[in-house]
Amino acid sequence: MKKNIVVTGGTKGIGRAIIEKFASEGFNIATCARNEQDLQKLERDISKQYSVRVITSVADVSKKEELSRFLTKVKENFTDIDILVNNAGFFIPGAINEEEDGVLESMIETNLYSAYRTTRAFINDMKMRRKGHIFNMCSTASIIPYINGGSYCISKFAMLGMSKVLREEMKAFDIRVTAILPGATLTASWEEAELPEERFMKSEDVALAVWGAYTMSDRTVIEELVMRPQLGDI
């Protein structure tokens, strides 16, 4: 029987790379994003290339109602969730004292609350089965604040905090919780950067790290995994 993975924000960047990797290993996929055309293309490409089921739903995860529709659709199609990757997030540069009103709330809703709500939707089933692995996509911004990081750093610090709490809570239920902390990765967030491609990590490398953490024995869990470009932070 094929296993099932849920990845929020799966049409681009790290999320897409994770889906590609796990689909290649025979996992059924469930994902959401805001763009319907991107989701349709992903569904066609992945299901055709890897012969797995792909469940998609248009959803802005910062909106509770839209996220709830996605989670309901997943439960209607997949009995068990083996892996959850809380990947959806976005970045707006700015300083705390200069950001527009509402930027913090927007990033907290997307980068933190969506992960909190998605986790709560599946965690009780994982606890009952005493099986599952939750990956929270944090950032090096979760541990080192930087100028012009503002609300993004705040939201990612909070995401790492949630991951640490969840790790402690899930120990007794044999559920693994891993925080991934990638540095600059070549995704849409860096499209405007005037830097050579080689200066960034590949999304595929982050996906390989997630796969490696998952495939370790049940006796081992990677609690936090920090990844940076070879030449360091940007």
What CATH number does residue 153 fall under?
Answer: 3.40.50.720
In a domain, 55, yes or no: yes
Which residues participate in catalysis according to the annotation? 152
pLDDT at 160: 98
If you ran DSSP here, which 8-state letter would residue 89 be given?
-
pLDDT at 54: 98
Nearest-CA neighbor of 69 among 10, 118, 137, 19? 118
pLDDT at 192: 63
Q: What's the token pair of residue 100? A: 């527009």
C-alpha dist (Å) from residue 160 to 8, 62, 173: 17, 18, 20
User: Whole-prediction pTM value?
Assistant: 0.95
pLDDT at 142: 97
| Domain ranges, residue 156 | 4-227
In a domain, 109, yes or no: yes
pLDDT at 189: 63
In a domain, 85, yes or no: yes
Helix runs in the chain, H state only: 13-24, 36-50, 64-77, 103-108, 114-129, 150-170, 203-215
Q: Which residues contact 113 (CB under 8 A, 6 or more apart)?
A: 62, 64
pLDDT at 179: 98
In a domain, 145, yes or no: yes
Q: What's the token pair of residue 113? A: 């609350």
Q: What's the token pair of residue 224? A: 């936090």
In a domain, 234, yes or no: no
Q: Please give the tally of structural domains in the chain.
A: 1
Rg, the chain, Cα only: 17
In a domain, 94, yes or no: yes
Report CA torsion sign: 148, 134, 75, 31: positive
Dist CA 234 CA 230 (whole Å): 11
Nearest-CA neighbor of 123 among 114, 111, 136, 134? 134
In a domain, 62, yes or no: yes
C-alpha dist (Å) from residue 218 to 160, 173, 179, 214: 22, 12, 17, 9
pLDDT at 5: 98
| Ranges of the chain whose pLDDT falls below 50 | none
In a domain, 58, yes or no: yes
Torsion of CA 191, 70, 108, 153, to 10 degrees: -40
Phi, psi of 230, rounded to the nearest 5 degrees? -55, -35
% of the chain at pLDDT higher than 90: 90
